Structure 1
Amino acid sequence: MQKTKCYLAALVSGVLLVTGIWAGYGQSKKNDHLTVYLWENRLMKNIAPYIHEQFPDQDIEFIIGNNDTDLYSYFKEHGELPDIMTVRRFSGTDAQDLQPYLMDFASYDVVSKYYSYAVEYYKDTDDEIQWLPICAIPQTIIANKTLFDQYGIKVPENYEEYVQVCQQFYDKGIKPYSMDLAEDWSNQEIIQAAAIGEFTSLYGIDWRNKAETSAGEIKFDDVLWKRIFSETSQFLKDSHFSKEDINVNINTGTQMFVEGKSAMFHGQPTDMQKLQDQMDAELIRIPYFSQTSDSSFVYMFPSLNIAFNKELEKNKEKLDTALDVLDCMISEQGQKLIADGSGVISLNTDVPSMMQNVSGLEEEIKDTSIYIRYSAQKSFDASLEAVHGILSGKMDEMQAYNAFRSAMNSKDSKEKSTVNFENEYSILLTDTTKSILKKINPKCAVEQIGDTTLSSAWIAAMSNGQQPSAPEDYIEVEK
């Protein structure tokens, strides 16, 4: 047994998909070879072929990466930082150790194509912009208007009316809001949506700017954050959430809404369309309401964030190709492919509205403010711990705040796992990941299969009597 450090994306049907699976185009021997890491498989399916179609003569390799900036830190440690990096869950603090190695977009024309609010939180303390968002996905409450009409309940237009609506449905034995609070992303959303007026206040913006650029411990404004958790607790009570909601996952929450057992759910335009296809009811969107004013907000998050390796500036041809790829991503078609459909808010001033195909969306958000979520990687687990603590009755508002703050500033402690390299594994490797594996474990023998496809490799293995092992969760192996 030997403990070595490598990132393994998944063990699916007995095949270890090592982070960095090659699924791109072109050869890897040219000086202008460009590596593009995409954070999920769907992007490989949607955007990679489109970019290849636009630039068929360019040597571009698309690789399945991971939704974590730690992966890129690991590759940097081993001299294998990709040319283009993407991630979804992200804040400036997550990528602090990468800062010296990332290109500053501020001096390039591409930044001028963005709305100013879209890059507001991407500037670091030196006014550099090392990450850019690619299109925005609007998240709102989704309401069963038919159910509202059936019981003569008025659609809310502010927080006070929202509270009244929840009480009316609760009194009639219908769950007001079935939110999937077993999922970390919904707990992260609920804190910011419940206290959205605080996050968009001058104090909230100031805290976020400091948090996004903090190189060390994130400083918390106690006065601000006590209000945030007070409003979070109030929202949970007003929405009639209870400790049972801790176990409501995405499937359960969705099913309750589809069956008319709850009046409201939440989601993106694509989610709403899927729900509409399953329901004989009129669905509408309701924004998130501030508890401190009559303002309403669409909760929004980028489909992905992108960064360039600073080394690109040493090779103008490669840099031009990388910028072409970025331009392709922020084009209308590119954004639709990245967001898996229409109904996204374009951050590119050159691209017209992409909401025409989603009934009512453009009109509904015309007089509604846009809030871009804070999505530091630690904020997801921290939010889940705090919200579950309140719902379970184990924490009051102050204890939940303290738990959240502690989790946000906790030191990383990665679990140590062991891989038995005496066994043989069916592993797909790129030249990059193969070289890393050889460096960290020189005794590991890697046999080249030769030209083949995944399906062909499976057929050959199965014909020899080999069977796939049960799927396992994502693991990290540390030296």
Structure 2
Amino acid sequence: MKTKTLRRLFSMLAALVMGLSLLTGCSGKDAERTQKLEDAQTIQVYLWSTSLYENYAPYVQAQLPDVNIEFIVGNNDLDFYKFLQQNGGLPDIITCCRFSLHDAAPLKDSLMNLAMTNEAGAVYNTYLNSFKNEDGSVNWLPVCADAHGFVVNRSLFEQYDIPLPTDYASFAAACQAFEKIGIRGFTADYAYDYTCMETLQGLSAAELTTTAGRKWRTAYSDPANTARVGLDDTVWPGAFERMEQFIQDTHLTADDLALNYDDVTGMFRNGEVAMYFGSSAGVKMFQDEGIDTTFLPFFSQNDEQWIMTTPYFQVALNRDLEQDTARREKAMKVLNVMLSEQAQNRIVSEGQDVLSYSQNVPLRLTEYLKDVRSVVEENHMYIRIASNDFFAVSKDVVSKMIAGELTAAQAYQAFNAKLLAEEEPADNETVLTSGKAYSNVFHANGGSAAFSVMANTLRGVYGTDVLLATANSFTGSVLQADYNQKMAASMIMPNGLMSRQRTMTGAELKETVRAFVEGCEGGFVPFNHGSLPVVSGIAVEVKEANGSYTLTDITRNGQPLGDGDTVTVTCLATEKQMEALLASDSGTSAGEDAWVKNTWRDYVSGGAALAEPENYMTLR
């Protein structure tokens, strides 16, 4: 009897264990299916700056409540996207500001051809030509422009009865007139590569947009061209002659090569220089200070007027989207909103004009650009050639021209030789190896695996009990790849991410986590799942209702966090957000704020290892 009873008990126990195993297996499979569904429904958009993440991304998401968009602050560097491409991590939508079709050539076969889309059709042909490949395909589209030209102190012109320039001859005459009374007519921050590059091109915008100029530019940017392309002998010799004449007319010398932005704007503010090369934002800045300021274009020597423009960013879509009709449709909806007038208004700084390359966005100029309205209406907005080579070589050659070391002919030869020279091999020494790939897609049951890897690793680096980070702290997925120094450094958001360490009570930590999750006055407010913070050393439960988020629970080591507990905490955020998120009375300071990128760079330089991810958030 006892034996039969024991057998029954063992049978019941075995059945119970088997049932639990089946339930666990089903639960695991359900979770896996849910995560795959979340992955499929998510459109990843990589933004090149944190300002876009804070001001632009929330608007785009709000217009598409049925599309789950994962916004990431990536890098303003095409090498970053080439690395993602090579290792299977290219996102759905890419943005980049420091861009040239020449540098983007290796990505061409991985990007959608947008030539026949309505979005490409809306771009004025004058500007679309700068983005066409040799075969007529278009992978990248520009959004609105940042206008660069001459910021002019109009009150100085009136004070000394000097006419405002209307062409190149009167510009040169104004410079001469100011020099005679001891005021610089013109200078610029030639310490920077982009100022050297944009001056060289801006003075010859009319010639660089001719048929011959476009022909050369297309050849230089052609992805199919495996040989290095130098300057042509039709357009470019004249560009250096105009640069040489400009240097003479403005009396630029080697001393100008040391000037940075603060130096130049300080001279302008003090009435020491009448004109400088800058953006239209400078007009508003000085008008707000009470200085009568206006904006003038580049004056070509053929009497045409041109504005140098830099697209705030170029945008491209991953060709893999074409394999899934539903995902492609979602991505195109996102692209359409990103290029809309209302979205572009959120890209520019307050008070700046929206100079769009699209016919779908009406021209509305403020008082700051009223003097160049005719230039804009004529579509004389030159888009700079901004390859890495052009940045570096322009800085070298134009600086030597300003210093009087090169004539126009010598400068042309030097520039051409540098473009044709073979690139020196990059430093590809591996400093970090990830044996597994971790996606940055946010999952309701767990959070982002990639972000957890980064947060857990950095918590170990900082040596604190807890780490809190805003969602824009890390630049996307952790790839199964060997990372060199540059690519490892690019895992950290590049726009001023700071760390602050505190010792807190459990009660103080709860309030700090609440500020990260729910948002706070003057700080960042999460606007979708992917913008929720990342935590390490604790786990949090968050409730979502009507687009807002509420912190409902915090555990540490599986136990509820006690108000009287003492914990060391590292917080990661931009300097602006840090002040709002972390009140001065939240805990005891444990040292000064520091740049996260420097800490991370030092860590990976010493032979880094990545931590394993954890489920850190449950979203209900």
Tell me the residue number matched to 1:351.
Answer: 361
Is 1:46–1:340's contact at 8 Å kept on the other side of the alignment?
no
Tell me the residue number matched to 1:11.
Answer: none
Matched, 1:414 2:527: no
Tell me the residue number matched to 2:176.
Answer: 167
Distance, in Å, in 1 between the alignment partners of 2:84 and 2:382 is 33
Is 1:385–1:403's contact at 8 Å kept on the other side of the alignment?
no
Of 290, 313, 328 in structure 2, the residue corresponding to residue 304 of structure 1 is 313
Distance, in Å, in 2 between the alignment partners of 1:348 and 1:223 is 31
Tell me the residue number matched to 1:83.
Answer: 92
Where do residues 116-155 of structure 1 align in structure 2 (5 Å cutoff)?
116-155=125-164
TM-score, normalised relative to structure 1:
0.84
Is 1:188–1:384's contact at 8 Å kept on the other side of the alignment?
yes
Larger radius of gyration: 2
Where do residues 101-112 of structure 1 align in structure 2 (5 Å cutoff)?
101-112=110-121
Tell me the residue number matched to 2:382.
Answer: 371
Cα drift, residue 205 of structure 1: 2.1
Cα drift, residue 465 of structure 1: 4.7
Of 319, 324, 336 in structure 2, the residue corresponding to residue 315 of structure 1 is 324
Deviations 1:103-158 (A, max 9, x none): 00013222222222221111111111001101122222111111011111111111
Distance, in Å, in 1 between the alignment partners of 2:167 and 2:393 is 28
Of 156, 173, 186 in structure 1, the residue corresponding to residue 195 of structure 2 is 186
Tell me the residue number matched to 2:4.
Answer: none
Distance, in Å, in 2 between the alignment partners of 1:143 and 1:68 is 32
Deviations 1:61-116 (A, max 9, x none): 11111111111110011111111111112121111111111000013222222222
Is 2:207–2:213's contact at 8 Å kept on the other side of the alignment?
yes
Matched, 1:402 2:388: no
Q: Match of 2:279, as an amino acid?
A: Q
Q: Match of 1:260, as an amino acid?
A: G
Matched, 1:458 2:571: yes
Deviations 1:323-375 (A, max 9, x none): 11211122112111122344121222222223246462563536653322222
Tell me the residue number matched to 2:259.
Answer: 248
| Local SS of the residue matching 1:30 | helix
TM-score, normalised relative to structure 2:
0.66
Of 365, 382, 388 in structure 1, the residue corresponding to residue 393 of structure 2 is 382
Distance, in Å, in 2 between the alignment partners of 1:234 and 1:401 is 14
| Local SS of the residue matching 2:189 | coil
Q: 1:468 to 1:144 in 2, by over 3 A?
A: closer
Is 2:230–2:419's contact at 8 Å kept on the other side of the alignment?
no
Q: 1:194 to 1:435 in 2, by over 3 A?
A: closer
Matched, 1:221 2:235: no
Is 2:431–2:482's contact at 8 Å kept on the other side of the alignment?
no
Tell me the residue number matched to 2:300.
Answer: 290
User: Which stretch shifts more, 225-234 or 242-251?
Assistant: 225-234
Distance, in Å, in 1 between the alignment partners of 2:270 and 2:248 is 23
| Local SS of the residue matching 1:160 | helix
| Local SS of the residue matching 1:434 | coil
User: Which stretch shifts more, 178-187 or 27-36?
Assistant: 27-36
Cα drift, residue 222 of structure 1: 2.7
Is 2:154–2:292's contact at 8 Å kept on the other side of the alignment?
yes
Is 1:37–1:84's contact at 8 Å kept on the other side of the alignment?
yes
Q: Match of 2:105, as an amino acid?
A: Q
Distance, in Å, in 2 between the alignment partners of 1:168 and 1:304 is 39
Cα drift, residue 242 of structure 1: 0.6
Tell me the residue number matched to 1:158.
Answer: 167
Q: 1:144 to 1:464 in 2, by over 3 A?
A: closer
Q: Match of 2:423, as an amino acid?
A: K
Distance, in Å, in 2 between the alignment partners of 1:132 and 1:61 is 21
Distance, in Å, in 2 between the alignment partners of 1:92 and 1:51 is 26
Number of aligned positions between the proteins: 446
Q: 1:383 to 1:306 in 2, by over 3 A?
A: same
Distance, in Å, in 2 between the alignment partners of 1:321 and 1:361 is 41
Question: Which 5+ residue runs of structure 1 have no aligned equivalent?
Answer: 1-25, 442-446
Tell me the residue number matched to 1:391.
Answer: 402
Distance, in Å, in 2 between the alignment partners of 1:261 and 1:269 is 20
Cα drift, residue 195 of structure 1: 2.4
Cα drift, residue 29 of structure 1: 3.1
Of 477, 486, 496 in structure 2, the residue corresponding to residue 433 of structure 1 is 477
Question: Which 5+ residue runs of structure 2 have no aligned equivalent?
Answer: 1-34, 434-456, 486-534, 541-550, 552-567, 573-581, 608-620
| Local SS of the residue matching 1:307 | strand
Deviations 1:47-70 (A, max 9, x none): 111111112232111111111111
Cα drift, residue 378 of structure 1: 1.9
| Local SS of the residue matching 1:105 | coil
Tell me the residue number matched to 1:19.
Answer: none
Cα drift, residue 471 of structure 1: 6.7
Percent identity (aligned)? 28
Q: 1:337 to 1:451 in 2, by over 3 A?
A: farther
Tell me the residue number matched to 1:360.
Answer: 370
- Say what the alpha-carbon RMSD is for the aligned residues: 3.4
Q: 1:202 to 1:334 in 2, by over 3 A?
A: same
Distance, in Å, in 2 between the alignment partners of 1:431 and 1:177 is 40
Q: 1:159 to 1:42 in 2, by over 3 A?
A: same
Distance, in Å, in 2 between the alignment partners of 1:430 and 1:138 is 30
Of 335, 346, 366 in structure 1, the residue corresponding to residue 344 of structure 2 is 335
| Local SS of the residue matching 2:143 | strand
